[in-house]
Amino acid sequence: MSIQTVGIIGAGTMGNGIAQACAVSGVNVVMVDISDAAVAKGLATVSGSLDRLIKKEKITEADKAAALARITISTSYDDLQVAQLVIEAATENFDLKVKIVKQLDAMLAPEAIIASNTSSISITKLAAVTTRADRFIGMHFFNPVPMMALVEIIRGLQTSDATHAAVHDLSTRLGKSPITVKNSPGFVVNRILVPMINEAFFVLAEGVATAKDIDAGMMLGCNQPIGPLALADMIGLDVCVAVMDVYLQEFGDSKYRACPLLKEMVAAGQLGRKTGHGVYTY
Ligand SMILES: NC(=O)c1ccc[n+]([C@@H]2O[C@H](COP(=O)([O-])OP(=O)(O)OC[C@H]3O[C@@H](n4cnc5c(N)ncnc54)[C@H](O)[C@@H]3O)[C@@H](O)[C@H]2O)c1
């Protein structure tokens, strides 16, 4: 199946990034969120991001206009019926995602594929609540989506080869380099990355080094483009805690416990860049 129109649930950080990546690659988009304000904000973010690409002479004004013309925004799931693929990129919450995928399953064309951009929830479990488990898959994009080359394509136990092939083909058309991953908590990249970030908070809490020096150490010593604490601020400290909690529960191994300092900062509302205050102040 060739995918011409992609539906996106959620116009937040990931949803609007996925919308931009699709639209600049010639794929039509229907982006849905729960309020007019949320979809308008998502579209404004895409517009601002395209403006920055124009400034860098990566795209022209005409490219921007063409990309924006491919994006429809809506607060109604009914508008997703034209899509061959719907990517769920709503808030990371199991009950919410179950509700959304059931709702999509009930109203999409029978052949349509549903993908989830979840960072930590089992694709096999989400697939199982639908009547199209063979047409359910994980598409795990990375932040910021327009810049990051990787998509982890996660096959649930029930995902068919045809579904995998269609989503792999789309990912390549979006200019991404997909890797195929078996469903398992954290998939590949976050399974390794988030515990490393969590460890950086333990190192910070123990006073082993300052935040700046921890980040400098990992950048200069491991060639990482950004330190783990600055990266936590980008991802959102609340997201980091939620991901660790899932690993702890799923693997039943205490090595995955979230650092108390990280949890304390989340309790204080210091969630990183999105609140203007995390490990660093913005
Ligand atoms: N932020 C990251 O770095 C990152 C990276 C990879 C994957 N993810 C995953 O992507 C998903 C979205 O994360 P995000 O960072 O974009 O979150 P976000 O909070 O920026 O955006 C989530 C959006 O979903 C909307 N939403 C909530 N309920 C909805 C519903 N019923 N219908 C439609 N929209 C609804 C919210 O209004 C919000 O705009 C999560 O599953 C997250 O784990 C995030």
Give the Cα separation of 85 and 118 in Å (integer): 16
| Ligand 1 center to 36 CA (angstroms) | 16
DSSP class of residue 132? -
Residue-wise pLDDT for 125-164, tens only, equals 999 999 999 999 999 999 899 999 999 999 999 999 999 9
| Ligand 1 center to 256 CA (angstroms) | 23
Query: Which protein residues are within 6 Å of ligand 1, measured from CB?
Result: 9-15, 32-34, 38, 89-92, 96, 100, 117-119, 140-141, 143, 235, 239
Record the tokens describing residue 259, joined without a space.
């650092």
- Name the residues annotated as catalytic: 119, 140, 152, 190
Beta bridge partners of 180: 153
Residue-level pLDDT at 1: 72
Give the Cα separation of 85 and 80 in Å (integer): 9
Give the Cα separation of 33 and 19 in Å (integer): 12
| Ligand 1 center to 108 CA (angstroms) | 21
Which pLDDT band, with edges at 50, 70 and 90, does 120 fall under? confident
Is pLDDT of 252 > 80?
yes
For 199, 219, 235, 268, the CA distances from 211, given in Å and listed in that order, are: 12, 12, 16, 18
| Ligand 1 center to 210 CA (angstroms) | 31
**Prediction pTM value:** 0.90
* Cβ–Cβ under 8 Å, residues 42 and 34: no
Q: Closest Cα to atom 18, ligand 1: which residue? A: 12
First to last CA, the chain: 45
Q: Closest Cα to atom 28, ligand 1: which residue? A: 90
Record the tokens describing residue 175, joined without a space.
């200019």
Residue-wise pLDDT for 199-246, tens only, equals 999 999 999 999 999 999 999 999 999 999 999 999 999 999 998 998
Closest atom, ligand 1, to C-alpha of 143 = 3
H or E element, residue 38: helix 36-55
